[in-house]
Amino acid sequence: MKLITGLLLTTFLLKTASLENPSNGESHSNIEQNPQILTKPTSGPVQEPNPSHVQQPAAPKPNIDTKKPNNDTKPSNVKPTLKLNTTDTEPTPGDGYLGPAQCLEKKYTRLSCAKVFCPPWMRCVSGECLCKIPYKCPKLQTNVCGLDGSSYTSMCQAQAISCRSKEAIFSHFSPRCQETDQIKVTLKDSGSHKVLEINTEKGKMLVCGGLWDMAAANVVCRNTNPKGAATGTKARYDSLEKNIKWPSECVDVQCTGSELSLAECSIHKPKHLNATSEVAVANCYKEPAGECEKFLCVNGKCINRDRTCNGVDDCGDNSDEMCCQRELEGMRFAVVQVCVFLGMR
């Protein structure tokens, strides 16, 4: 009887233990199906999860202020992105001043009203400045004297006639027109130079070399060659021919380059000449031998490419200044200067 009772008690204890502790096989299968479930053993340290199976949160981006660098650290080998070059004032081939090609193909000049304004004695027709009819010019109170001895109601009227005849007419402003007061320019030989002598109401004088430039030289030389001057040349007063009695005074002239004579330019007050003074000399253009391998102006004149887009009318028709992609130092002043002198008339 005691034996049977012991067997029953042992069986009951085994069943109770099996209910409290599941089999190892079931435990391993549950872990394999749910790898992210953490189990805590009955003894020993806590097991950490495998980082390859656990999704880590994204790390926040550091807040770096790039606008305010640390004053304690100095940048090394840092090159500025903008370079200013104030020494080069003339373009060289390949600098990108002249162009673009689409503009050059249109052969613009100072008479291309697609690019510039026409003077008061001309009107814009289909992109070209054409001569006005003289009677359409307004009548002004100031009388205009012509080189032909006639008087005109305005400079616009005199210039409209010049525009059609291609000959200079304007001389000066005066209520009475006398031949002795006419402003005329003559070229006098002095060795290899042709010195400019200008007749004014104050007598004959030379042209000072101080403001003499290509624009004024083109105006003088166009009377003998439509392509104007080669350069704006100057000579010392003491280098002129000794056996010729030269005037002792000179006047500065400033031109835009579009005038037909120096009478249309701005003429300044006379200056006394000394031995070291410079006077203006005419160096008119001569056709080069062969084809032009430099810059060919619209009027056929050949000039160096470094004389384009410099604010100076080297061509004589301003075609070297009509297609410029960049502005040179001093060029803006040259453009303003032209506008001012056009407005004076």
Comparing 25-39, 129-143, 241-255, 259-273, the range with the smallest average pLDDT is 25-39
Say which residue, 199 or 13, is predicted with more confidence: 199
Res 345 pLDDT > 80: no
Which range, 32-36, 74-78, 198-202, 340-344, has the best average confidence (pLDDT)?
Answer: 198-202
Q: Quote the DSSP letter at residue 35.
A: T
In a domain, residue 286? The reply is: no
In a domain, residue 186? The reply is: no
Going 68 to 74 to 76 to 78, the CA torsion angle's sign is positive
User: For position 314, what pLDDT does the model report?
Assistant: 92
Each residue's pLDDT tens digit, 223-276 = 888 899 998 899 999 999 999 999 999 999 999 999 999 999 999 999 999 999
φ and ψ at 337, to 5 degrees?
Answer: -60, -40
User: For position 201, what pLDDT does the model report?
Assistant: 84
Q: Which of 239, 263, 142 is nearest to 190 (CA)?
A: 239
Q: Name every residue whose Cβ is closer than 8 Å to that of residue 233 and which is 6 or more positions away in sequence.
A: 193, 217, 280, 281, 282, 283
Each residue's pLDDT tens digit, 74-97 = 444 544 443 433 333 444 444 557
Domain total in the chain: 1
CATH code of residue 162: 3.30.60
Q: Where are the beta strands (DSSP E) in the chain?
A: 122-125, 128-131, 144-146, 151-152, 170-173, 184-190, 193-200, 203-207, 229-236, 249-254, 266-272, 278-284, 295-296, 302-303
Q: How far apart are CA 100 and CA 106, in angstroms?
A: 11
In a domain, residue 153? The reply is: yes
Confidence grade of residue 323 (pLDDT, cut at 50, 70, 90): very high
User: For position 311, what pLDDT does the model report?
Assistant: 87
Q: Quote the DSSP letter at residue 112.
A: B
CB-side neighbour CA atoms (13 Å) of 209: 17
Res 99 pLDDT > 70: yes
In a domain, residue 303? The reply is: no
Q: Which of 199, 169, 195 is nearest to 183 (CA)?
A: 199
Please indicate, yes or no, whether the overall pTM of this predicted structure exceeds 0.75: no
Range of the domain at 173: 136-180
In a domain, residue 187? The reply is: no
Q: How far apart are CA 93 and CA 103, in angstroms?
A: 17
CB-side neighbour CA atoms (13 Å) of 153: 10
Max CA pair span of the chain: 170
| Averaged confidence pLDDT in the chain | 76
> Which H or E run contains 334?
helix 331-343
Q: For residue 74, what are the CA distances in angstroms to 65, 68, 70, 79, 231?
A: 16, 12, 8, 13, 53
Confidence grade of residue 54 (pLDDT, cut at 50, 70, 90): very low
CB-side neighbour CA atoms (13 Å) of 290: 3
Res 141 pLDDT > 90: no
